[in-house]
Amino acid sequence: MIETGLKDRVVIVTGASGGIGKATARRFADEGCFVASWDVREGEAERGGVFQKVDVTGADSVEAALHELTSARKVPYVLVNNAGILRDALLIKYKDGAVAGTLSDEQFDAVLSVNLKGVFTCTRAVAPHMIAGGGGVILNASSVVGIYGNFGQTNYVASKAGVIGMTRVWARELGRHKIRVNAVAPGYIATEMTAGMPEKILATLRDHTPLGRMGQPEDVANAYVWLASDAASFISGTVLGVDGGAVPGT
């Protein structure tokens, strides 16, 4: 087994109540890390860790959870900004010669608030503790659609493309403090979000993935752990695709 250098490290995983977030929290726990699982929904702590109810869009909520950790001498070494939501809609739905619907302000703002501002809010709060502690790793959830775009996802794509931009800025700004910053761009992953989709749509997603299957949450969790590990000690400012070769819309 490859030595990751993560044993006893403190790891924060946002959006950790289910799906990729839960798999990621569990995977870091398997490496012997103390994992703080953050989510706005109810959840469970991983072995030896803690669950904290946190709204990543609220600075006060984030700071309170972080204060609770640092007061117990749990200084974060890894932050996984995984929390995200969907509110899909066409920019303009046009039918029978008239506008039948649009992407609403609420749909746009809600997705940008969680997927983009939430990443900013958590990183701004955690980074000073990493600096004081001598370094760390920040890992941000982007998406394959943040690179290629996708039909009906103006808000989601904007948020995930923005995450890539922030990742590259922070890699430059924080590198001098021995903090590495990278993004992971998952493709089509089998989670609670996809569980209710019709089989016809799931088949289409598989058809758009050259490896011929949906990804599993553990596939993404493994990427996060590798990027956080000593094996990736000279990797910063990159976007790692975990997508089975998928290109949306092809």
Kindly indicate the confidence band of residue 247, based on its pLDDT and cuts at 50, 70 and 90: confident
Work out the mean pLDDT of the chain and round it to a whole number: 95
**Is 162 inside a domain boundary?**
yes
**Is 46 inside a domain boundary?**
yes
- The per-residue pLDDT for 165 is 98
Specify whether 77 is catalytic.
no
pTM listed for this prediction: 0.95
Kindly indicate the confidence band of residue 250, based on its pLDDT and cuts at 50, 70 and 90: low
Q: Which two tokens stand for residue 8?
A: 């006893």
How many domains are there within the chain? 1
Kindly indicate the confidence band of residue 205, based on its pLDDT and cuts at 50, 70 and 90: confident
What is the C-alpha to C-alpha distance for residues 86 and 150, in angstroms, rounded to an integer? 13
Terminal alpha carbon distance of the chain:
38
Long-range contacts of 106-112 (CB under 8 A, 24+ apart): 107/155, 108/154, 108/155, 108/158, 110/85, 110/155, 111/85, 111/86, 111/87, 111/155, 111/156, 111/158, 111/159, 112/155, 112/158, 112/159, 112/162
Kindly indicate the confidence band of residue 228, based on its pLDDT and cuts at 50, 70 and 90: very high
**Is 249 inside a domain boundary?**
no
Kindly indicate the confidence band of residue 1, based on its pLDDT and cuts at 50, 70 and 90: low
**Is 127 inside a domain boundary?**
yes
- The per-residue pLDDT for 2 is 66
Residue 158 has pLDDT above 90, yes or no: yes
**Is 250 inside a domain boundary?**
no
Residue 249 has pLDDT above 70, yes or no: no
Tens digits of residue pLDDT in 25-42? 999 999 999 999 999 999
Query: Measured at the alpha carbon of residue 166, what is the angle toward residues 92 and 36, in degrees to the nearest 5?
Result: 105
Mean pLDDT of 76-101: 95
Residue 3 has pLDDT above 90, yes or no: no
**Is 3 inside a domain boundary?**
no
Mean pLDDT of 106-127: 98
- The per-residue pLDDT for 208 is 84
Q: How far is CA 236 from the centre of its chain?
A: 16
**Is 5 inside a domain boundary?**
no
Mean pLDDT of 213-238: 97
- Which candidate in 77, 148, 156, 224 is catalytic? 156
Question: Could you tell me which residues come within 8 angstroms of residue 130 by beta carbon, excluding any fewer than 6 positions away?
Answer: 75, 76, 77, 79, 136, 138, 174, 177, 179
What is the C-alpha to C-alpha distance for residues 212 and 210, in angstroms, rounded to an integer? 5
Kindly indicate the confidence band of residue 194, based on its pLDDT and cuts at 50, 70 and 90: confident
For residue 23, what is the domain's CATH number? 3.40.50.720
Considering only 37-51, 80-94, 166-180, 200-214, which range has the smallest mean pLDDT? 200-214
Domain hosting residue 80, numbered range = 10-242
**Is 216 inside a domain boundary?**
yes
Task: Please indicate whether residue 45 or residue 210 has the higher confidence score (pLDDT).
Answer: 45
